[in-house]
Amino acid sequence: MIDLHSHTTASDGTYSPAELVDEAGRAGVHILGITDHDTFSGYDQARPPARLSGLELVCGIELSTKLHGHSVHLLGYFLEDDKLSGFRSWILDLQASRRERNIRLVARLRELGLDITLEEAQARGGEMTGRPHFARLLVEKGYVSSPQQAFDEYLDESAKGYVTRREPDFAEAIRHIRDAHGIASLAHPVRLREDLAAILPELRAAGLNAIEAYHSDHSPAQTELYLRLAAQHRLLVTGGSDFHGAAKPEIRLGTGRGGNLLIPEDLMERLRAG
Ligand code: AMP
Ligand code: FE
Ligand code: FE
Ligand code: ZN
């Protein structure tokens, strides 16, 4: 089985890199892409245990970018991970912008009457503390009953606690991925706020290589639509569960939500062939 979208404790997943490698073994995943938000730290740490267990790791990353005023997730896959030094220094800026946002997010949430501190959030998220860790904190403090409610009431782009974050432009992020010889894939297109068919020519002109047609949040009809659009626009196809461990317990590595994910075995060969 192949799964090209997963998160570790290096971002907002709950499995450490080594635990994720073990989980891949249990789940029957033999090619695993680690795509933590804005960091390669989980991938780097997973390499030694993956080598020991014979798991093929794909170096990946998930970036939050701005497209037409909205946040859009972009996946980068680096099949030659020796070309990454420039990219690794670029993402330090992204990490700094998240830290700076977190300071303002704490201030905003306190303004709304929530008694929380940056230290408490960081105790849950470490170096890559993000909104999912704030969501867990709000649950633990009893302000909401689930992480989803935390997003709906406070943290989502449309919610009252939302504060903006400096995010790279979609096209700029693609440029950085391509400069590092990577493949840029549009993550979970179902979450786009715009019609994909309408904006695909623009995304392709910006250098997009692929669409994540297979994803745990996609219905069979949506997957079919994204496969068709990819073929029409001569884009590659990627796929993955978006496994976050206990942070999204209904999603399983390799098989998605209730087994709704079935990623074709020749996906990697097609990506390698470009
Ligand atoms: P951050 O990068 O810190 O802004 O957090 C972004 C992460 O929060 C995303 O990668 C998602 O995992 C999660 N997220 C964002 N919006 C929502 C939402 N409305 N509901 C649930 N999770 C969300
Ligand atoms: Fe996430
Ligand atoms: Fe995402
Ligand atoms: Zn993800």
Q: What is the pLDDT of residue 184?
A: 98
CB of 64 closer than 6 angstroms to any ligand 1 atom: yes
Q: How far is the CA of 215 from the centre of ligand 2 (A)?
A: 13
Separation in Å, CA 236 to CA 82, 124, 131, 179, 230? 22, 36, 31, 18, 6
pLDDT digits (tens, 9 = 90+) for 198-237: 999 999 999 999 999 999 999 999 999 999 999 999 999 9
Residue of the CA atom closest to atom 13 of ligand 1: 132
Q: How far is the CA of 10 from the centre of ligand 3 (A)?
A: 15
Which residue among 8, 65, 131 has the greatest number of ligand 1 atoms within 8 angstroms of its CB, and so is best to mutate?
Answer: 131
Q: In which residue are the tokens 């992020």 written?
A: 173
Q: Residue 79 burial by CB count (10 A; 0-12/13-18/19+): exposed, middle or buried? A: middle
Alpha helices in 40-117 (DSSP H): 41-53, 85-111
Kindly tell me if the per-residue pLDDT of 127 is higher than 90.
Answer: no
> Residue range 19-46: average pLDDT?
98
Q: Tally the C-alpha atoms within 13 A of residue 175's C-alpha that lie toward its C-beta.
A: 7
CB of 239 closer than 6 angstroms to any ligand 1 atom: no
- The percent of the chain in helix, strand and coil, each rounded to the nearest 5, is 45, 20, 35
Mean pLDDT of the chain, nearest integer: 96
Q: What is the pLDDT of residue 247?
A: 86
pTM of the predicted model over 0.85: yes
Q: Tally the C-alpha atoms within 13 A of residue 23's C-alpha that lie toward its C-beta.
A: 24
Q: What is the pLDDT of residue 69?
A: 92
> Residue range 153-164: average pLDDT?
96
Q: What is the pLDDT of residue 182?
A: 97
pLDDT digits (tens, 9 = 90+) for 46-64: 999 999 999 999 999 999 9
CB of 49 closer than 6 angstroms to any ligand 1 atom: no
Which residue among 127, 155, 167, 250 has the greatest number of ligand 1 atoms within 8 angstroms of its CB, and so is best to mutate?
Answer: 155
First to last CA, the chain: 21
For residue 215, what is the enclosing H or E element?
strand 210-215
Q: What is the pLDDT of residue 254?
A: 98
Q: Which residues pair with residue 169 across a beta bridge?
A: 66
Nearest ligand to the CA of 131 is: 1
Task: For residue 274, name the pLDDT band (cuts at 50, 70, 90).
Answer: confident
